[in-house]
Amino acid sequence: FEVHQPTRIKKFRAFDIGNDHHYFNDNSDSDLNNKRILERVARKSYLPANRLLLDLLRRHPDFKISFSFSGIFLKQLEDDFPEVLESFQKLVETGRVEVLSETFYHSLSFLYSLEEFKHQVAMHRKTIKRLFGVKPLVFRNTELIYNNELAVTVEGMGYKGILAEGADRILGWRNPNFIYHPAGTAKIKLLLKNYKLSDDIAFRFSERTWKEHPLTAPKFANWLSNHNGNGQIINLFMDYETFGEHQWEDSGIFQFLDSLPEEILKHPDNDFVTPSEAISRFDSFGELDFPSFVSWADEERDLSAWRSNSLQEDALSKIYSLESEVLNTKDLQLMEDWRCLQTSDHFYYM
């Protein structure tokens, strides 16, 4: 599960430039109020979903999951919602929840500054160790943005696995339900999202016009079991907000999640593994070449969600052009603001 909330930028007028140096402190009733939005999502999604997952982990000893938390999400929890952070910590304490590594600010830094990328990953790794007591071994880049070069870089940083979108244009005839090794690497392994099955839950669950509606746990478990004998693993990657925020409680999404582990485990060939366990258990099925970038965003599954118009391009170029100038100031608040402005969400909505 990806768990992320950006620090949204408040409405900033031209005459505020040079006068107002607080960019993220909207206190209105709008959807730019970070604390207000996080409180709502915590109430609708994080807290009930965490209670349910903790219960499922207790009821099913073979049930396992993983989380990829953005650093700015965790910082907001530390500052304003410690009870939500504690509920995530309780899940990790079970020993059957893996925490993945990513950029602290959920940024596009790998596309623009390798040094900034490495700095943010190091920040994130330290935060995960401090809050959860674990060292991430598997990397997931912002929005599953991935190519060969990223895999080479991440392997050099000590990771043993990396996640990517199972994009059809890259896979061709290949099956996303196998583990591969990225082109140009030595040992790191590649886990691919099965986007069709993932999106059945994340996007189509409450779509009444969908021919498979309603989606029940027995039906979905049967779909998974049908792949036995034609793959090593099925990777289901989705936003954690799927549960309660994107798919509302009255859609039946929590009842679906409550029943799913039991239904999956009814089949003797099925079990759950964390990303690290999958990497250790299975050999690579072969090399997979990702010469161009892919992501999990929109139907295009490329970088166009953030870089398809001139406003996005100009804003991204400008923010990263300030790198040396900002860092040379040694001003901690200025550096924090600059990094919060790198969050991918800002450019996605341009």
Q: Residue 246's closest CA among 296, 316, 195, 199?
A: 199
Collapsing DSSP states into helix, strand and coil, what is residue 304? helix
Paired tokens of 235? 């990777």
Pairing, β 181-182 against β 287-288: parallel
Give residue 297's Cα distance to chain centre.
11
Residue tagged active-site, from 143, 155, 241, 245:
143
**Taken in order 83, 253, 208, 143, is the CA torsion positive or negative?**
positive
Q: Residue 336's closest CA among 104, 13, 117?
A: 104
DSSP labels for 105-170?
T-B-GGGT-HHHHHHHHHHHHHHHHHHHS----EE--GGG-B-HHHHHHHHHTT-SEEEEE--HHH
User: How far apart are the C-alpha atoms of 104 and 71, rounded to whole Å?
Assistant: 4
Are the C-beta atoms of residues 87 and 47 closer than 8 Å to each other? yes
Bond into 218 cis (ω within 30): no
Question: Does 143 participate in catalysis according to the annotation?
Answer: yes
Q: What residues act catalytically?
A: 143
